[in-house]
Amino acid sequence: MDKLAVRSVLEHIAAFLELKGESAARVRVYQDAARRELEVTGRSSTLDELREQIPPGLAEMLRISGLGVAKVRQIHERLNIDSLTELEDAAADGRLAALPRFGRKTAENVRKGIAALRQASAFRLLHHALDEAQGIAQALAALEGVRRVEIAGSVRRRLELIRDLDLVVVHAGDGMRESLIERLDDAPGVIELAGKDGSVTLRFVSGAVAQIFLSTEADAGLSLVRATGSAEHIAQLQARLSGGGPWPDEESVYRAAGLPWIPPELREGMGEIEAAAAGRLPRLLEQRDLRGLLHCHTNYSDGTTTVAEWADACRADGYEWLGITDHSETSAYSGGLRAADVTRQHAEIDAANRRRSDFRVLKGVEADILADGSLDYGSAVLDQFDFVIASIHTRFGMTETAMTERVLRALDDPHTTILGHPTGRLLLAREPFAIGRSR
């Protein structure tokens, strides 16, 4: 069990005990015992028992930012509420605001917190989901009777945001199926197992939920195709499929549909079946197609790596060049480069280039687009760079007209080579700013 999962279990135990009114000393005793049990068995009987005693809605309420144990207890005891939906109603109709130490502002924050929680618990970023899926695959692969585990679903399609984890578990044969389902329940970190027919849903202590497709070797290809594609892709493929298998690999499935193998990243039901049938599938970009990196921060601003370390690491990974782009002076929040630092950094880059004849470091900068659309530093300093990324880091709330004007003005500056993060969006954290229609 990884450190993150252990911490999550211990935090849940503490919160549940506090909800029951246990003292801090008692909480520590329970946590110590739970830590030992987790190390040995990968589960916690304390948490299992607490989950039976505490309404699941109260546990969810604890995850709303700004609602600690004391407030959740108060809500439960005074308003007799134990679900997010009831809490949402109470926040809307004034009951929550009327509680001592709450008020209108807190009620409004709770309402927003519930919305954010629903959004965040439904989706996570690809790299987080990939870590989770790999952890689960490893745990399942260790079970007796399992030959191999393949990560499928939207993680394999590499969507930016992931809601569901899907895995195909290939086992030794039909006789194995029932006993394997029993064993899934014992996999490390599993707290709940549901649906025992076509697929099995596993819920983990970490909060992850995974759909598991059980398959024999003879059908592994078909299972993987079904567990990977979007519903549209599967439906379109199914309509072309003829023959009754066996389908040991994905190629055999696509061949039976009269198609070449389609890369998972394209299996969205957005024209890829027609393209494959017509022999017009695009060649996808691969890691090895990338020749260099152009947006890299060093220890001169908010990065932790030196110019030389960047160069060595990039060269070791097979890249041919690297563009250093620290934040500009106005970005005080990230320790932006002062004009004097620019000279110092450029000397460092020149030295790095002299040491390596097979690798080139370019002098770049991420210059702030100021509120009026002009670039930080001004011409004299900007002229010293090989290239300039122009980015917005402040005043996200401008009107659409003003924001569009601001960005267009920055693009008109002859120093601008690249527009950085063009909408300011941070997936799951910040909405894009308004930009686009007209000047």
Residues that bind Zn ion (CB under 5 A): 391
Rounded to 5°, angle at Cα 165 from 160 and 167: 125
8 A C-beta contact, residue 33 and residue 221: no
Task: Closer to Zn ion by CB, 147 or 295: give it.
Answer: 295
Residue 124 β-bridge partners = 162
φ/ψ bin of 207: left (φ > 0), alpha (ψ from -120 to 50), beta (otherwise): left
Taking the complex as a whole, the smallest distance from the CB of residue 349 to Zn ion amounts, in Å, to: 20
Task: Closer to Zn ion by CB, 44 or 391: give it.
Answer: 391
Please state the φ and ψ torsions of residue 26, each to the nearest 5 degrees.
Answer: -65, -40
- Other beta carbons within 10 Å of 93: 11
CA separation for the pair 10, 32 (Å, rounded): 9
Task: Closer to Zn ion by CB, 194 or 332: give it.
Answer: 332
Q: Closest-CB residue for Zn ion?
A: 391
Q: How many helices (H) and strands (E) does the chain have?
A: 18, 12
Task: Closer to Zn ion by CB, 322 or 365: give it.
Answer: 365
**DSSP type of residue 95:** T
Taking the complex as a whole, the smallest distance from the CB of residue 391 to Zn ion amounts, in Å, to: 4
Taking the complex as a whole, the smallest distance from the CB of residue 371 to Zn ion amounts, in Å, to: 16
Task: Closer to Zn ion by CB, 361 or 367: give it.
Answer: 367
Taking the complex as a whole, the smallest distance from the CB of residue 429 to Zn ion amounts, in Å, to: 14
CA separation for the pair 42, 48 (Å, rounded): 12
Taking the complex as a whole, the smallest distance from the CB of residue 399 to Zn ion amounts, in Å, to: 22
Task: Closer to Zn ion by CB, 106 or 391: give it.
Answer: 391
Task: Closer to Zn ion by CB, 47 or 392: give it.
Answer: 392
Our measurement of the distance from residue 30's CA atom to the centroid of its chain's CA atoms, rounded to an integer in Å, reads: 32
CA separation for the pair 372, 36 (Å, rounded): 59
CA separation for the pair 208, 98 (Å, rounded): 36
Maximum pairwise Cα distance, the chain = 76
CA separation for the pair 240, 272 (Å, rounded): 13
Taking the complex as a whole, the smallest distance from the CB of residue 243 to Zn ion amounts, in Å, to: 53
Taking the complex as a whole, the smallest distance from the CB of residue 420 to Zn ion amounts, in Å, to: 5
8 A C-beta contact, residue 262 and residue 279: no
Task: Closer to Zn ion by CB, 328 or 391: give it.
Answer: 391
3-class secondary-structure state, position 382? helix
- Other beta carbons within 10 Å of 42: 18
Rounded to 5°, angle at Cα 437 from 436 and 438: 115
Taking the complex as a whole, the smallest distance from the CB of residue 302 to Zn ion amounts, in Å, to: 9
Task: Closer to Zn ion by CB, 391 or 416: give it.
Answer: 391
Taking the complex as a whole, the smallest distance from the CB of residue 320 to Zn ion amounts, in Å, to: 24
Residue type, 155: V
Tokens of 91: 């926040």
